[in-house]
Amino acid sequence: MTIYSANGSNTTIRERLGLRPIINVSGTMTALGASIIVPEAIAAMSEIASQWVEMDDLQRAASTIVARLTGGEAGFITACCASGITMAIAGAMTGTSLLAIERLPDDTEGLKSEVIVQLGHIVNYGAPIDQSIRLAGASTVPAGTVSVTQDYHVREAIRDRTAAGLYVVAHHTVQYGMLSLEEFCEICHARGVPVIVDAASEYDLRGFLARGADIVVYSGHKFLSGPTSGIVTGRKDLVRAAYFQNRGVARAMKIGKESIAGTMAALEAWEKRDHVGIRQREEAALNLWKDALQGIAGIGAEIIPDPTANPLNRLQVFVRPESRFSAAGLASALAAGSPPIIVRNHEVERGHFFLDPCNLHPGEAEIVAERMRAVLSAERPADAMKSARKDTAGVLRWPD
C-alpha cells in the first residue's frame, strides 16, 4: 500500500487505500470525514507543518481571531467539540488551580462537580454527551423529562455542588418542550452558575454568546470547513480555566499546530465566504433532486429548513410502501450502489431520510439525481423492505 504519491500517479489517495469514493449527502458528519477543508486552511496547515512554534503563543494568536469572529472575550482551538465541552466543564470546576487540574477526573473533593442538562438534551452524537461530562470528573444532573422541561426543573436542580449548566444545540435534541437558551441562562445566572453551549454544528458564531451563554463550543471541521478541531470561546476567566486543562485531562485531547493554524485560516475564510452563492448552489441541488423524484409511486419529497435555524435547507424524502422500498431499504440501496451515496438516515424508522447538499463536489448533485431514479426504476434488492435496526455487528468486527 502506498499512501503518498509525489508525481505522475493516475490514482487518488482513496484508490490507493482501498476506500470507496462516496458521495456525501448526509451532511457534516464526523463518520464521513466531517467536511471538505477550504483551500485557505490546507495552505496554512502545509505552511506551518515544517515550522517550530511556541504553542501558547500560537493559541494567543488564535484567541484574537476567535474573539473577533465570535464576540467572545477570549478563545482557543482544541481537538474537537467534544474535547472542548470536557475542558469547559473541567475549567468551571477547577478555575485556575493547577493542583485541582492535576487531580481530575477522579479526585473532586472540595470542587463543584455537578452539571445540569435538560433531559431532552442528553444526546448521542457518536458518543453520549454525558461522557464528555464524566471525563472531566463531573456528574450529570438531568432536569425535566424527555418531552418537557419547566423552569422549576432546572431551578431546583441547582445545588451547592453545581459547577455549570450545559445547553445543547443540535438536531439530535428534542425539538419541543425544552427551555430556551435565554430561559436556561436566566435561571442559572440567578444562582451564579455559568452556562456552556454545545453548538458543534451551528452556523451562528456570535448569537449564542449574545443570548447569554458564558462559553460556546463549536466544531472547526463542520460548517467552517477547517481541519478536525473544536473552538472554545466566551468569558475570559472561563476560557482561561478551560485552556489550562491542557495540563490535566485535556493532555489526551491535545491538538497539533497544523490544525490550530488550519482552523484560524478557516475562521478568516468564513468572513469572506460567499454565503449567498453557496445557498443558491445548494437550493439548485435540492430542486434538482425534488424534480427527479416527482411522479415516482410511493416517494414524496419536500424541501425543509434546518431544525436548529441554520440558514440552509435539506430535502426530506418520504418512502411509502407503494414504492416497494422502506426508507431504510432505499437508503441502504443507495449506499450499496456505484458510486455509493450516503444519505442522512438517522430517522429512517419514521419512514423518511434527508438529502443534505452542503458537501457536494461539482457534478455530484446530478449524479445523485441520476442514481436515485436508477435505483427506484430497477428491480428491487432482497432487502428493499428492510426494517431499521440498530445493528452493531459490523462495528464490532473492526479492523477486519
364 and 233 within one domain: no
Q: Which residue, among 369, 361, 360, has the nearest Cα to 317 in the 3D structure?
A: 369
Answer with the one of 251, 272, 293 that is the final residue of a domain. 272
Residue 395 lies in a domain: no
Answer with the one of 272, 292, 310 that is the final residue of a domain. 272
Span 337-366, average pLDDT: 94
What gap in Å lies between CA 235 and CA 233, rounded to an integer? 7
Total structural domains in the chain? 2
Judged by average pLDDT, the poorest of 49-63, 171-185, 380-394 is: 380-394
Span 125-143, average pLDDT: 96
278 and 263 within one domain: no
> Which element (helix H / strand E) includes 100?
helix 98-103
329 and 191 within one domain: no
CB atoms within 10 A of CB 394: 7
307 and 215 within one domain: no
Domain coverage including residue 294 = 13-33+274-377
290 and 258 within one domain: no
| Residue 177: CATH number of its domain | 3.40.640.10
Residue 5 lies in a domain: no
Residue 384 lies in a domain: no
79 and 153 within one domain: yes
Tell me the pLDDT tens digit for each residue of 51-101: 999 999 999 999 999 999 999 999 999 999 999 999 999 999 999 999 999
60 and 203 within one domain: yes
CB-side exposure of 26: number of CA atoms within 13 Å? 24
| Residue 27: CATH number of its domain | 3.90.1150.180
DSSP letter string, 76-125: EEES-HHHHHHHHHHHHHHTT-HHHHHHTTT--TTS--EEEEEGGG--BS
Mean pLDDT across the chain, nearest whole number? 94
240 and 362 within one domain: no
pLDDT for res 296: 95
> Which element (helix H / strand E) includes 366?
helix 364-377
Cell of 362: 461539482
Residue 21 lies in a domain: yes
For 294, residues 6+ apart whose C-beta sits below 8 A from its C-beta are: 301
268 and 297 within one domain: no
91 and 52 within one domain: yes
Helix intervals (H) in 273-326: 275-293
Residue 161 lies in a domain: yes
122 and 48 within one domain: yes
Residue 194 lies in a domain: yes
Residue 317, φ and ψ in degrees, nearest 5: -105, 120
Span 130-143, average pLDDT: 98
Span 309-313, average pLDDT: 91
Answer with the one of 272, 300, 328 that is the final residue of a domain. 272
Whether residue 12 is predicted with pLDDT greater than 90 in this model: the reply is no
Percent of the chain with pLDDT over 90: 84
89 and 202 within one domain: yes
Residue 362 lies in a domain: yes
Residue 295 lies in a domain: yes
Whether residue 369 is predicted with pLDDT greater than 90 in this model: the reply is yes
